[in-house]
Amino acid sequence: MTKKDRLIYLPLGGAGEIGMNCYVFGYGPEGAERLIVVDLGVTFPNMDETPGVDLIMPDITWLAENSSRVEAIFITHAHEDHVGALGHLWPRIKAPVYARPFTAAIATLKMEEQGQPLDVIRVVKPRPEVVQAGPFRVQFVPVSHSIPESASLVIDTPAGRIVHSADFKLDGTPVVGEPFDPEEWHRIAKEGKGVKVLTCDSTNVFSPHPGRSEASLAKPLSELIAAQRGMVVATTFASNIARLKTLAEAGRDAGRSICLLGRAMKRMITAAVETGILTDFPPIIQPEEAVDVPRQSLMLIVTGSQGERRAASAQLARGKYLGLEMKEGDTFLFSSKTIPGNERDVIRVMNAYSEMGVDVIDDRGGLYHVSGHANRPDLEAVHELLRPKILLPMHGEHRHLREHCQIGLAKGISAELAVNGTMVDLTGDEPDVVEYVEAGRTYLDGSVLIGAMDGVVRDRIRMALNGHVLVTVILDEDDQPLGEAWVETMGLAERARSGAPVAEAVERELNEFLDSAGDRVLKDDDKVEEAIRKIVRQVAVEEIGKKPEVTVVTSRLVAE
Ligand SMILES: [Zn+2]
């Protein structure tokens, strides 16, 4: 008997966290649905949970195993948490990639960096252009966000229409890019049988007031910059082209020359100019020229709004950078919000400037920054506009998704809290959870992709927390110790409270053990190593109060 066709939704990243977005939709016979993927993003590591890791991306094992069923990959916009994993994960899916021009330009860079083919990237125009991907007909709908060309997707399937909001806000005057167009959304809701499913951004569900427009920042920023006497340095997200423009215009209007610092910022501006979305950016000067401009006539716009160690803001906080230097009486402006988790890094930079006598100004509760995401009343407005039968909150931590569900349910919309790995059947009038798929995290560690559960980072954390002891013993042909045990410690205090060297105390105990151990133990590498590990830990606890990780190297001389 042939199985009935069904429509499924499966988030693999982004539902249960803010970051590494990856959503899968499928249509067809159960277990053989044709699939499309929306976004392949990254999230960023931190010292506490993922020390030494370079990037974090979704575990797409399920998708890779079903890659022959994937018709297409759609990228909604060029933020790292939506496109950052494309170059790394594409080889495991190998499907054509669809995006609007600016997004496609950034996607191309991501593919290029990883040596992947570029001709798989297809540039798409907004609705009414349609991408036919197996049983899916997909249209890009321009929405305002904090990067140009963000797009919602209208996904038509034989089981009904899905609107995937992607990241959006309701901004009628976004400075760069298209405004949010309620009439277009009204049409989307009215066509055919209307909207069956809305998968919707949940980031700002706890913000109670309607979001403000990007254009509202021009006046306060102009006034702020015009009032400064020394050099002005401003930072924001490199991809926020509208903000870069607003900042640069405010600087120009205050009679300042504008200089951009930071690789990411130049890349974004170049992509925006080349794709035609940025046409009238104020003239910029190079750092070599900026050095000769009087401080009161200079404004730098720099990368590093999150305090990233290698970005321009942190470099300037440490001293001279490209010949430029902050001094007493200068002003540093964060036209940005600190992403939760980055507070310490940002505060470190703020204090470094403070020590230089630089005035540090943050977003002042929204005076110098607006969010790129829809707030609660805006989300409700979109629910009203689209009137979906089913609401699937996404792009949020668990608490965001839960709150968003409750808003939907209160209005009589069937809402389902589907976190990463939850496969939901959307064929009927109610969402139906049908399966759980393994959906964890993949780490880029150096140049290698590893699983979060592989133990690599767990070992690294254990070594970092506990320190490490290396023990070398040599046993002769008769399984007798040859010479004494040799101990080296790493990441541990060298001397005990008594002042005695720790390594020597460990060696003493080990030699006593080796001298007295019986043949039964000395013949067996496992027994030797286990005993040594135990002794090392015991001595370390007694001497310095630490239980280190221990590596034992047992070398045996073999009789000729
Ligand atoms: Zn975004």
Q: What tokens does 342 get?
A: 């980055």
**In this model, does residue 357 exceed pLDDT 80?**
yes
Q: Which residues contact 463 (CB under 8 A, 6 or more apart)?
A: 491, 549
Question: Around ion ligand 1, which residues have CB less than 5 A away?
Answer: 79, 167
**In this model, does residue 3 exceed pLDDT 90?**
no
pLDDT in tens, 422-462: 999 999 999 999 999 999 999 999 999 999 999 999 999 99
Average model confidence (pLDDT) across the chain: 95
Angstrom distance (rounded) from CA 422 to CA 401: 13
Angstrom distance (rounded) from CA 282 to CA 249: 6
For residue 423, the cross-strand partners are 435
What is the distance in A from the centroid of ligand 1 to the CA of 238? 12
**In this model, does residue 1 exceed pLDDT 80?**
no
Confidence class for position 560, pLDDT limits 50, 70, 90:
low
What is the distance in A from the centroid of ligand 1 to the CA of 200? 13
427 φ/ψ sector (left φ>0, alpha ψ -120 to 50, else beta): alpha
pLDDT in tens, 472-524: 999 998 889 999 999 999 999 999 888 889 999 999 999 999 999 888 899 99
Q: Answer for the pair 272, 339: CB distance below 8 angstroms, yes or no.
A: no
What is the distance in A from the centroid of ligand 1 to the CA of 124? 19
What is the distance in A from the centroid of ligand 1 to the CA of 372? 7
What is the distance in A from the centroid of ligand 1 to the CA of 250? 25
What is the distance in A from the centroid of ligand 1 to the CA of 306? 16
**In this model, does residue 292 exceed pLDDT 90?**
yes
Is the pTM higher than 0.75? The answer reads yes
What is the distance in A from the centroid of ligand 1 to the CA of 308? 19
**How much of the chain, in percent, has pLDDT values that exceed 70?**
99
DSSP state of 68: G
For residue 555, the cross-strand partners are 474
Peptide bond into 58 cis (omega under 30): no
What is the distance in A from the centroid of ligand 1 to the CA of 527? 55
pLDDT in tens, 11-32: 999 999 999 999 999 999 999 9
Tell me the H-state helices in 370-415.
376-386, 398-410
Q: Which residues contact 218 (CB under 8 A, 6 or more apart)?
A: 175, 246, 249, 250
Report the pLDDT averaged over residues 341-359: 94
Q: What is the residue whose two structure tokens read 């809402």?
A: 415
What is the distance in A from the centroid of ligand 1 to the CA of 145? 7
**In this model, does residue 47 exceed pLDDT 80?**
yes
**How much of the chain, in percent, has pLDDT values that exceed 90?**
92
Give the residue among 241, 238, 236 at the shortest CA–CA distance from 279. 241
**Phi, psi angle pair for 113, to nearest 5°:** -60, -30
What is the distance in A from the centroid of ligand 1 to the CA of 174? 14
Say what the pLDDT of residue 363 is. Answer: 87
What is the distance in A from the centroid of ligand 1 to the CA of 77? 7
What is the distance in A from the centroid of ligand 1 to the CA of 14? 11
What is the distance in A from the centroid of ligand 1 to the CA of 144? 10
**In this model, does residue 102 exceed pLDDT 80?**
yes
